């Protein structure tokens, strides 16, 4: 992607523009430039991942492609050039806030804290945070993590949830952070960590692509029920309406169920492996009544 540099005067003007943002800013930017920037993930399970050579795909990638197609139609554009900006758990929110990314299409939990900084589309996938481990570890649940080394990914909420869980009270475990989900799984696969705490679908996807998938299991109680959603800039009501209307239409038409089957039940690239994760009751409920309510409004285990 091209880099742009602003002079001191331009920086002041840009800061003023941010402070007096109009509702149609993002839509206007797309119409004026004919481009939109999608935030994409390298290894967020079937929700979002890379195929290499600058190519990305996944459930939320497909959702965002449909959103972009609807925005293109709304704006009357013959073509919209989609640019891809890889993001991590650590930088995804700042890159949305500063305008680098227009739509973040990964595996981001919608919670009340994040809603202070960014906005979320209605949820189409509700996740359960679980524990992955080697079958030989003897770990069956939260209580067995005492004295163990637990991997998670920098910038995610998983280990925070574990530490807050009442079943983890008084437990002592070491935490190791991977820079992304693949790196975190490698900590488990290589034996440097005894368990990996993360979204269940991410764990299932990584296990399906492991050298020896049969060596691993997802065990124990759900630590949290989390709405995972498309993220975009805050305080842009016209853009929010365009995105949210598109997402609701996907749910209402039944197209989202077809996308879910494609990514979670059928063989997917690059290895034609199956995640084999049927839609949960919570995910089906989200399709029936799409909402952007945060995690705190969901019943927790």
- Domains and their CATH numbers in the chain: 18-124+229-297 (3.40.190.10), 128-226 (3.40.190.10)
pTM: 0.78
| pLDDT tens column, 173-221 | 999 999 999 999 999 999 999 999 998 988 998 998 899 999 999 999 8
Two tokens, residue 43: 């290894």
Residue 162 is predicted with a pLDDT of: 83
Residue 155: per-residue pLDDT? 85
CA dihedral 185, 187, 190, 192 (to 10 degrees): -150
pLDDT at 18: 43
73 burial type by CB count under 10 A (0-12 exposed, 13-18 middle, 19+ buried) = exposed
Number of Cα atoms under 13 Å in the Cβ half of residue 66: 19
Contact between 135 and 216 under an 8 Å Cβ cutoff? The reply is: yes
> Where does residue 87 rank: exposed (0-12), middle (13-18), buried (19+ CB within 10 A)?
buried
pLDDT score recorded for residue 17 = 42
Q: Which residue ranges in the chain fall short of pLDDT 70?
A: 1-24
Q: Which of the 8 DSSP states describes residue 277? A: -
Residues shown for the chain: 301
């Amino acid at each position: 992607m091209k880099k742009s540099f602003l002079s001191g005067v331009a920086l002041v003007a840009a800061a003023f523009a941010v402070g007096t943002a109009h509702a149609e800013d993002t839509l206007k930017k797309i119409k004026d430039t004919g481009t939109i920037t999608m935030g994409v993930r390298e290894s967020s399970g079937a929700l979002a991942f890379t195929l290499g050579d600058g190519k990305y795909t996944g459930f939320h990638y497909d959702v965002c492609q449909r959103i972009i197609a609807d925005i293109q139609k709304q704006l009357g554009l013959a073509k919209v050039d989609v640019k891809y900006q890889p993001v991590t758990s650590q930088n995804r929110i700042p890159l949305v806030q500063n305008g680098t990314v227009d739509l973040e299409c990964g595996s981001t939990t919608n919670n009340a804290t994040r809603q202070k900084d960014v906005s979320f589309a209605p949820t189409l996938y509700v996740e359960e945070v679980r524990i992955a481990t080697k079958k030989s570890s003897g770990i069956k649940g939260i209580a067995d993590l005492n004295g163990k080394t637990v991997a998670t990914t920098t910038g995610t909420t998983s280990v925070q949830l574990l530490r807050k869980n009442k079943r983890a009270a008084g437990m002592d475990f070491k935490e190791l952070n991977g820079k992304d989900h693949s790196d975190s799984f490698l900590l488990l696969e290589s034996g440097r960590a005894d368990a990996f705490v993360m979204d269940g679908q991410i764990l299932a996807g990584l296990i399906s692509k492991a050298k020896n998938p049969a060596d691993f299991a997802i065990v124990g109680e759900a630590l949290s029920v989390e709405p995972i959603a498309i993220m975009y800039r805050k305080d842009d009501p016209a853009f929010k309406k365009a995105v949210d209307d598109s997402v609701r239409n996907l749910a209402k038409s039944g197209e989202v169920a077809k996308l879910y089957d494609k990514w979670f039940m059928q063989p997917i690239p690059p290895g034609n492996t199956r995640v084999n994760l049927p839609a949960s009751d919570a995910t089906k409920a989200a399709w029936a009544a799409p909402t952007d309510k945060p995690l705190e409004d969901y019943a927790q285990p």
